[in-house]
């Protein structure tokens, strides 16, 4: 039964050719899965400029307050979504991020305005896009825990459809770094100074400084922090290259 339901709902969402159609398909899916509300947010970055898609049927008072106070930048659900590879219930947010007093207050205000609990499906493509699809229930209603697996699949299909509606960024020529330049960026990302990097690589400190300058010029950035961020997004260095080395 669940498999047939998932297939039917996913098909309706995947065939959505407009935002209005996606809204209708997601609204129907949320209801069929036992939720009261849904919200989908998708932000794309790329050479053609940023683009975003936001559709939801949250209670109007909560939606107005969220926008008026610009709560998106501090939303604990959004922050937790950036720390998870799978869907998660809001009751375990503190498993992903440290919850501040402000975070708990924001969740409480959400409950006061008709959004009691929820389940969020995150999807991220570093350097290209970030998105999340949430399903929520109102006050005094139990979460349909037996439908979390279905919600995971439906949310993933919805985010894929959102990406299709907005369009993936056009491929661009990315800056190219030499192997030695990449090594210098990697060791700087690991917290080493130019002098320490020089000693590790067996070259002069001036050479390291020059390699980093050329790398910054190719990315058109003016500080090491942005150079490291660009290299991470482009896959020239990996998060594991930094974390695993630091952890060991």
Domain ranges of the chain: 2-166, 179-247
**Percent of residues in the chain assigned helix, strand, coil, to nearest 5:** 55, 15, 30
**H or E segment and range at residue 108:** helix 101-112
**H or E segment and range at residue 23:** helix 19-33
List per-block mean pLDDT (blocks of 10 residues) for the chain, which spans 248 residues: 87 96 97 97 73 93 89 89 93 95 94 96 84 95 94 96 83 81 94 94 96 94 91 84 71
8 A C-beta contact, residue 222 and residue 231: no
Residue 46 exposed, middle or buried by CB count within 10 Å (0-12, 13-18, 19+): middle
Q: How far is CA 245 from CA 134, 195, 229, 237, in A?
A: 35, 19, 17, 12
Architecture, CATH, for domain 179-247 = Orthogonal Bundle (1.10)
* DSSP three-state, residue 248: coil
Distance (Å, whole) CA 113 – CA 64: 10
Question: Phi and psi of 51, rounded to 5°?
Answer: -145, 150
Q: How far is CA 243 from CA 20, 74, 205, 247, in A?
A: 42, 25, 25, 6
- 114 dihedral zone (left: phi>0; alpha: psi -120 to 50; beta): left
Distance (Å, whole) CA 19 – CA 21: 5
**Hey, CA dihedral for 84, 182, 229, 233, is it positive or negative?**
negative
Distance (Å, whole) CA 190 – CA 58: 43
Architecture, CATH, for domain 2-166 = 2-Layer Sandwich (3.30)
């Amino acid at each position: 039964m669940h498999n047939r339901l998932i297939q039917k709902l996913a098909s309706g969402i995947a065939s959505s050719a407009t935002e209005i159609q996606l809204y209708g398909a997601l609204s129907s899916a949320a209801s069929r899965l036992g939720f009261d509300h849904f919200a989908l947010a998708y932000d794309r970055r790329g050479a053609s400029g940023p683009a975003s898609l936001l559709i939801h049927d949250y209670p109007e008072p909560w939606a107005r307050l969220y926008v008026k106070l610009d709560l998106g930048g501090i939303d604990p659900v959004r922050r937790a979504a950036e720390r998870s590879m799978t869907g998660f219930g809001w009751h375990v947010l503190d498993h992903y991020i440290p919850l501040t007093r402000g975070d708990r207050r924001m969740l409480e205000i959400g409950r006061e305005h008709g959004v009691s609990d929820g389940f969020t499906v995150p999807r991220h493509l570093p350097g290209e896009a970030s998105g999340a699809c949430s399903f929520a229930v109102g006050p005094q209603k139990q979460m349909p825990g037996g439908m979390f697996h279905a919600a995971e699949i439906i949310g993933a299909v919805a985010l894929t459809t959102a990406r299709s509606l907005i369009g993936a960024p056009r491929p661009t020529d990315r800056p190219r770094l030499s192997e030695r330049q990449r090594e210098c960026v990697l060791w700087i990302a690991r917290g080493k100074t130019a002098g320490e990097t020089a000693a590790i690589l067996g070259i002069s400190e001036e050479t390291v400084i020059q390699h980093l300058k050329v790398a910054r010029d190719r990315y058109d950035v003016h500080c090491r922090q942005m150079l490291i961020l660009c290299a991470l997004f482009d896959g020239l260095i990996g998060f594991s290259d930094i974390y695993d080395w630091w952890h060991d």
